[in-house]
Amino acid sequence: MKRISVLMAAAFVDMMGGAMIFPLLPFYALHLKAAPWMIGWMIASFWIAQLASSPLWGRVSDRYGRRPALLVGLTASALGFLVFAFAVTPWMLVLSRLVQGAGGGTTGVAQAYVGDAIEPKDRAKALGWLSAATNAGVMIGPAIGSLATNLGMAAPGLIAATLCLGNVWYAWRWLPESAPHRRPSHQAAAPSAPRRPVIEVVWEVFKAPKADVPRLVWIYAVGMLGFMSMTGVLALYLDRAFGVTEKTIGLFFVYTGGLSLIMRALILGKMVDRFGETGVMRMGAIMLALGLAGIPLAPNVLGLAAVIALIPIGTALLFPATSALVT
């Protein structure tokens, strides 16, 4: 488990750096006189780059190893944070998000590392610990980012870049390649089943939306669309409705991240055992919908805290349960 502990630490720091930056992005965009429509694209650019880079990282890690792919991805993230720190135009913020997203495509590589390095009987537990480490980073990062703004506008990006570069050194020094553990050199590689083209799988989701797996994909996609749409404008709404600034926005993300971590680590498994994956998925969808609908109706900060709690609880139930049903 030593190598998984190292991987968890690397994943924790990587996600913490990204979480330091994300809540501040709308405020920085407004400071640089960005048009409102650009803020949505700034946020979306990260996920677009991550979506585009994930298959590439998968192929690179298969060919050259998990460790080199992780090191290059972490270095790309550090570069993105540096661009964010010294951004003087809105388009530099977009560039920083694109670079961060491209580096963030290594999430799947980290999961593949677990698959290589851990025996099948312990794999689910190791993936759970890896998920807990990333969630902890997401929870702590926003608070550090908000505090760092007291040191200047560039401070959050510089701190995130420093942490990420330290992460590169840490992983380079202590994280071994997983391939030798996965398959000794004297053994021949087992033939793998041919992969279906991505476009074929996507077309199947649109062609037969009522089939079992496509229906679950649509449930996941619609839920994620609603969640991410809210996340992209939440900081601006809190600023206008309740006077939240870049110095205090981190507290809201710590609050929601903490609820999500508690749900996933302590409660989700028990609820699945009692209600089943389908029941948990339905409860999560309802809670997410109620939370999203209740945000504009909250009369004060306490009311907002009560309503917004439904969102991390809902996502912690909806997305893992839906993913489990797909598999």
Report the Cα–Cα distance between both ends of the chain, in Å, rounded: 26
Q: List the domain boundaries for the chain.
A: 2-182, 198-326
DSSP calls for 98-128:
HHHHHHGGGHHHHHHHHHHHS-HHHHHHHHH
CA distances from 215 to 32, 124, 195, 199 (A): 42, 25, 22, 17
- Give φ, ψ of 253 to 5 degrees: -75, -30
- Report angle CA 41, 230, 207 to the nearest 5 degrees: 75
Q: Report d(CA 158, CA 162) in Å as an integer.
A: 6
pLDDT at 185 over 80: no
pLDDT band at 7 (very low <50, low <70, confident <90, very high): confident
Task: Report d(CA 94, CA 48) in Å as an integer.
Answer: 11
Q: HSE-up of 294 (CA within 13 Å, CB side)?
A: 19
Q: Which residues of 265-275 are buried (b: 16+ CB within 10 A; e: fewer)?
A: beebeebbeee
What secondary structure letter does DSSP report for 195? P
Q: What percent of the chain has pLDDT over 90?
A: 48
Calculate the CA dihedral of residues 102, 292, 225, 45 and round it to 10 degrees: -30
Q: Is the pLDDT of residue 134 over 90?
A: no
User: For the whole model, what pTM was predicted?
Assistant: 0.81
| Confidence check: pLDDT of 140 > 50 | yes
Least confident of 78-87, 145-154, 167-176: 167-176
The yes-or-no verdict on residue 46 having pLDDT over 60 is yes
pLDDT of 62-75, one tens digit each? Answer: 888 889 989 998 99
Task: Calculate the CA dihedral of residues 237, 239, 245, 246 and round it to 10 degrees.
Answer: 30
* Fold exhibited by the domain 2-182: Growth Hormone; Chain: A; (1.20.1250)
Please state, for a pLDDT cut of 70, what percent of the chain lies above it. 92
Distance CA 224, CA 26 (A): 20
Residues 6+ away with beta carbon under 8 Å from 258: 139
